[in-house]
């Protein structure tokens, strides 16, 4: 594994640069993520963590600096579909059944019908929803929809998964279950994950490293390495080692001003 999965160098992002009302969303971001890592970005609202994820995904362009994904420019990585993406909203296409939703990225890659179908069923097997292939999205619960979204994000077997608060809209119990499922799925597929969240226990439970960010302008203040072992489960959340790391991340976040901006700044 020679090259980094994600390499961010000297990146800044200024919205409305050079115009009145310009906003420094991110300043001097340097971050290297190795293949197989699970890195969470955490910070108060408005710290630019979603913006940073979108810069890695090349849904936004950085103002300065550069982003490399698998050694390529972020743009090339997007064109090659080198990553899968999942959001807080499952974003399933309501007129497509579950299997067809999972097939969508494969369709855009030009896969033939049989190959797509086979892969979609494999992916549904992976997220334990094989019997729902022909259901429509409205027939599934929120947690099940989010599992379909994860199956879709991983359908083309991308080496990298980018997730923006994917469990933010789920209830606590579903959420904890989904976290374990995500670890299992990413372990089985050996996927590198960049995960945006504002839940400290979620970040600690899932990650190999937690990147703590400060708001306005967003910058990385601390990186907390976490190693709770490969076999994390229900007991992990009651493990003293878990609490120590939760406290460490909470300390790192303490004292940061809390802005009342709920949403990350987007390009107008």
Partner 1 sequence: MRAVSVGGRRAGRWYGALWPPVAFGAGSIVLWELAVKVFDFQPYFLPPPSAIWQQFKENPQLIWHATKVSGLNALIGLLAGAVLGIAVAFLLARFRLLNDLVTPLAVALNAVPIFVLVAVFNNMFSITSEVPRRLMVTLVVGFIVLVNVARGLREVAPTQLELMRSYAATEFAILRKARVPNAVPYLFTALKIAAPAAVITAFVSEYFGGSQNGLGSRIVASIAISKNATAWAYVLGACLLGLTFYLITVGLERAASPGGVAARRRDGA
* Residue 49: both structure tokens together: 């963590």
Could you tell me the smallest distance in angstroms from the CB atom of residue 94 to partner 1? 6
Asked if residue 244 binds partner 1 (CB under 8 A), the reply is no
Interface residue with partner 1 among 16, 139, 247, 259 (CB under 8 A) is 139
Asked if residue 173 binds partner 1 (CB under 8 A), the reply is no
Asked if residue 169 binds partner 1 (CB under 8 A), the reply is no
User: Which residue, 143 or 201, is less far from partner 1 as judged by CB?
Assistant: 143
- Burial class of residue 229 (count of CB atoms within 10 Å of its CB; 0-12, 13-18, 19+): exposed
Interface residue with partner 1 among 10, 17, 30, 79 (CB under 8 A) is 79
Asked if residue 94 binds partner 1 (CB under 8 A), the reply is yes
End-to-end distance of the chain based on CA atoms, in angstroms? 39
**What DSSP letter does each residue of 16-40 carry, written as one string?**
TTTSTT-EEEEEEEEEEE-TT-EEE
Cis peptide before 217 (omega within 30 of 0): yes
Could you tell me the smallest distance in angstroms from the CB atom of residue 13 to partner 1? 17
Residue 131: which residues within 8 A CB-CB, separation 6 or more?
Answer: none
In whole angstroms, how far apart are CA 18 and each of 55, 174, 195, 240?
20, 45, 31, 49
Q: With CB under 8 A, what is the number of residues at the site for partner 1?
A: 30
Q: Where are the beta strands (DSSP E) in the chain?
A: 6-15, 23-33, 38-42, 64-69, 72-73, 83-86, 160-164, 192-197, 209-214, 219-225
Q: How many CB atoms lie within 10 A of CB 10?
A: 12
Interface residue with partner 1 among 55, 57, 126, 265 (CB under 8 A) is 57
For partner 1, which stretch binds (CB under 8 A), given 112-120, 140-148, 186-194, 247-255? 140-148
Q: How many CB atoms lie within 10 A of CB 167?
A: 25
User: Which residue, 151 or 204, is less far from partner 1 as judged by CB?
Assistant: 151
* Residue 75: both structure tokens together: 């743009």
Interface residue with partner 1 among 48, 105, 201, 218 (CB under 8 A) is 105
Could you tell me the smallest distance in angstroms from the CB atom of residue 223 to partner 1? 26
Asked if residue 263 binds partner 1 (CB under 8 A), the reply is no
Asked if residue 73 binds partner 1 (CB under 8 A), the reply is no
Could you tell me the smallest distance in angstroms from the CB atom of residue 25 to partner 1? 17
User: Which residue, 133 or 226, is less far from partner 1 as judged by CB?
Assistant: 133
Interface residue with partner 1 among 6, 68, 85, 194 (CB under 8 A) is 85
CB 83 within 8 A of CB 77: yes
User: Which residue, 87 or 205, is less far from partner 1 as judged by CB?
Assistant: 87
Instruction: By CB under 8 A, name the binding residues for partner 1.
Output: 57, 59, 78-81, 83-85, 87, 89-91, 93-97, 104-105, 107-108, 132, 135-136, 138-141, 144
């Amino acid at each position: 594994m020679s090259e980094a999965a994600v390499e961010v160098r000297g990146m800044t992002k200024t919205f409305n640069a050079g115009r009145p009302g310009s906003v420094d969303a991110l300043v001097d971001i340097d971050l290297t993520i190795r293949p197989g890592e699970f890195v969470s970005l955490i910070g108060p609202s408005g710290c630019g963590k979603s913006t940073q994820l979108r810069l890695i995904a090349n849904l936004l362009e950085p103002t300065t600096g550069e982003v490399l994904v698998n050694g390529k420019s972020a743009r090339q990585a997007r064109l090659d579909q080198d990553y899968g993406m999942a959001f807080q909203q499952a974003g399933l296409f309501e007129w497509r059944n579950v299997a067809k939703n999972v097939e969508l990225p494969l369709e855009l890659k030009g896969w033939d019908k049989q190959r797509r179908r086979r892969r979609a069923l494999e992916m549904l097997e992976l997220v334990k929803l094989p019997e729902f292939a022909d259901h429509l999205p409205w027939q599934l619960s929120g947690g099940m929809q989010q599992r379909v979204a994860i199956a879709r994000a991983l359908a083309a077997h991308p080496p990298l998964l980018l997730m923006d608060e994917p469990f933010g809209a789920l209830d606590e119990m579903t959420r904890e279950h989904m976290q374990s499922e995500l670890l299992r799925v990413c372990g089985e597929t050996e996927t590198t994950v960049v995960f945006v969240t504002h839940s400290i226990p979620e970040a600690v439970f899932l990650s190999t490293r937690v990147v703590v960010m400060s708001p306005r302008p967003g910058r990385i203040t601390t990186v907390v390495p976490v190693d709770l072992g490969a076999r994390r489960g229900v007991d992990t959340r009651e493990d003293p080692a878990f609490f120590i790391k939760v406290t460490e991340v909470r300390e790192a976040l303490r004292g940061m001003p809390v802005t009342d901006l709920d949403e990350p700044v987007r390009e107008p």
